[in-house]
Structure 1
Amino acid sequence: MEWKNVRGVDTPRHRITWTENGKRRERVVTLDWKGDLAELDRLYWLCERGQHPRQKPPAPATSWRALVIAWRSDPRVQNRLSDGTKRSYRRTMDALLEKNADKDVRQTTRAHVRALHDKLSATPRKADHHLQVIRLLWNYAKNKLDWPLGENPAEGLELYGTTREFLPWPEWLVGKLAEAPHDVRVACELILGTGQRPNAAIMMRYDDFSGEWMWVWDEKGKDRFEVYCPPRLRAFVASLRKQGTHLVAKNLTEGKGYDSVEKAFRTWRKTLGDAAQEYTLHGLRKLACIELAEGGAGDAEIQAVTGQSAKTVAYYRRLADKKKLSRSAQTKRERNKNET
């Protein structure tokens, strides 16, 4: 350590010298000790161990932080994503950056990714989502940013399994909505009545409703369109005491967000016992799809209401068809027994 007079003030500095390719190199770190000997001692030993922030090498241009920033700043990517998907990606990317922000993407190996996946095995859905995000970012860096990357280290690793489909709510749980807290009940009635994604339904305003029609927002398609409003939902909306521009109001001009409502929903769900714990807000959207199918709506009609993909509609239509067929079969069975 050395002292240097800077503008009339003696200032401690830590100097490191070394030889690189036959040339003398050095790095000098000014110790901001603020006149505190204990702080000076701490900074000195940080430098001796090479751990002072000023001694850290600059992050490479191909760091994970640079990659995430580029991905989040690309309108070609962001404009195609729903708000819910963006939040999901943000959480996982933030977790990845906690320990890897300044690490070079090019140094990431398949062994590193597998170790992370194994470490999160207690939460398989979370573990698989980390793989998905790493694979997505790697492909973006290679194909859109032209980074010199090799084979994607997350490609081909075995997943713990696809996540279970959201369960449609049973009748007994829907019946419990009458006892739910105000915001939870309003949100649930909107999701079930509109068939929309929870976030889009929760953010609905009173001026989205006009007579027999309502305006809904397709988050993924980034499209707003008008659909028929079922009588039950019309009557429910008309029964509400208006507290602001939004049905689930934060104040006079703002609506509450999905996270706030979902937290309140989980708190209420705990009061209903173990039987209710596997059901989510998304399950109401699935129930809407099944009710439409049971009512005789075709796939195209269901898609016109809910905005779901043809694959998703087909899956929940099969559930509805099974219920109808089982009722028909059991009725015939009982009729045959009685006739015999």
Structure 2
Amino acid sequence: MSRKVTWPGVRTKRAKGRTYYYWARTEPWSRLPNPYDDPDGFMRAIARLQRIGALEDERTRTGTFGGLVAAYRKDRKYLDRSASTRANYDHYLSRLLAAYASAPLRELTREDIQTRVMDANQDTPGAADMMLSILRNLYKFAVKRHRGIEDWTLGVEPYGNQSEREPWPDDLLALALASENASFRRAVALTLYTGQRVGDVCSMTWGMIRADALHFRQQKTKAEMVIPLYPKLSALVSDLPRSDRHLFLLSNEQGGPLIPDTFGRWCRKFCADNGHERRTAHGLRKNATIELFEAGCTTAEVAAITGHKSLGMLDHYGKKRSQPKIARLATAKWQGAETKREREN
């Protein structure tokens, strides 16, 4: 049980006959030295925590960029994003806060964004584009809540370099699917054969397999998915290790789930070691999308497998599909239609 004592902001707790002191203006509370055993240390700790608190107040004060980020993180649209998406956002928000936390919103300019975000990160264009995208969302949030705020992201052009999400070349994919590292090989195959995001693939359990299909809910879109166990996928699932301690389709040696970040590191290292830097695990989702298009699937049919909500994004993913393969499918359908007409006549 806690009780107030004579120092503002300090709370105490009793445990095993002893009294412990805490600074209660942080979350979680910060442990303090006992003021009677070490009064100087106690006062120095309070002074340090007060300085940290004052700095944090300045960084999150209403009207500053830091205050905007703090409010945005409490917004329902942000909270409804998947845990992995929020973690990704937080990574880049932290970088933006390092530059702009205490900056007044009304004093930020388009030139600031161009020079301190885009130009300063031109060596990592994917990161620059991600921060620009997040800034666009922040400004959409801000203009509805702060009078006189202008969206200074308008007119700032992204690099458009998304090579980190490019599909894997055929030779690289063949090497991965023949890898001697069984855990890596299976993870690549399951990602490719289902067309799902890495987080969803690593979360798949044996209990999701029912009636010759894989049933799961996408973490990002919350969409309920059912993917039939077609022959290639069925053969892969049959090859996966299964026991009482293997709950997940992709398990580590102890039976726990394969961590998405671990699989991501495997993929980046494998690609770099084979001369394809900046390729990532997410590129496998593009490979699956392209293969579905090249098999003659319609946009709606591809979306039924991948779960894409934006058909525009799906078309963007499919831009790398092979024109000759699509052309052969089209001419085969064309010839089939002519043959059918001739028979009918």
TM-score by length of structure 1 reads: 0.70
- Residue 136 to residue 210, structure 1, CA distance change in 2 (3 Å): same
Partner of 2:289: 289
Q: For residue 206 of structure 1, what is the aligned residue in structure 2?
A: 206
Q: Deviations over 1:188-225 (max 9, x none)?
A: 11111111122211221111123521113333321222
CA distance in 1 between counterparts of 2:321 and 2:52 reads 61
Instruction: Identify which range, 54-63 or 100-109, moves more after superposition.
Output: 54-63
- Alpha carbons 1:191, 1:284 under 8 Å: kept: yes
Report the secondary structure of 2:165's partner residue.
coil
Give the counterpart letter for 1:116 in structure 2: R
User: Residue 234 in 1 paired to residue 234 in 2?
Assistant: yes
Aligned-residue CA RMSD in angstroms? Answer: 3.4
Measured after TM superposition, the shift of residue 127 of structure 1 is 2.1
**Residue of structure 1 equivalent to 2:26:** none
Counterparts of 1:72 and 1:206, CA distance in 2: 35
Change over 3 Å in CA distance of 1:73–1:254 after alignment to 2: farther
Identity %: 28
- Structure 1 position 178, deviation (Å): 2.5
Asked if 1:120 corresponds to 2:121, the answer is yes
C-alpha separation in 1, matches of 2:52 and 2:320: 59
Uncovered stretches (5+) of structure 1, i.e. residues with no partner: 1-31, 44-51, 329-340
Counterpart AA for 1:265: C
* Contact 1:245–1:252, Cα closer than 8 Å, also in 2: no
Distance 1:165 1:154 in 2: 23
- Structure 2 counterparts to residues 1-340 of structure 1, below 5 A: 34=40, 58-59=57-58, 60-79=61-80, 81-117=81-117, 118-143=119-144, 146-164=145-163, 166-176=165-175, 177-242=177-242, 243-250=245-252, 254-271=256-273, 273-274=274-275, 276-308=276-308, 309-315=310-316, 319-320=320-321, 322-324=323-325
Contact 2:294 2:326 in 1 (8 A): no
Gaps of 5+ in 2: 1-37, 330-345
Name the amino acid aligned to 1:203: S
The normalised TM-score by structure 2 is: 0.69
User: Contact 1:67–1:137 (CA<8 Å) still a contact in 2?
Assistant: yes
Task: Tell me the equivalent position of 1:10.
Answer: none
- CA 1:209–1:54: 2 relative to 1, 3 Å: closer
Pairs aligned (count) = 282
Deviation digits for residues 278-319 of structure 1 (CA, Å, limit 9, x no counterpart) = 533222222222222333322221111112332344355564
Instruction: Extract structure 1 runs of 4+ deviating beyond 4 A.
Output: 52-58, 250-254, 315-319, 325-328
CA distance in 1, matches of 2:326, 2:55: 68
Q: Residue by residue, what CA displacement relative to the aligned partner does 1:150-186 show, whole Å, maximum 9, x if unpaired?
A: 2122221233335348333333323322325333222
Structure-2 separation of matches of 1:57 and 1:269: 41
In 2, distance between residues paired with 1:114 and 1:202? 37
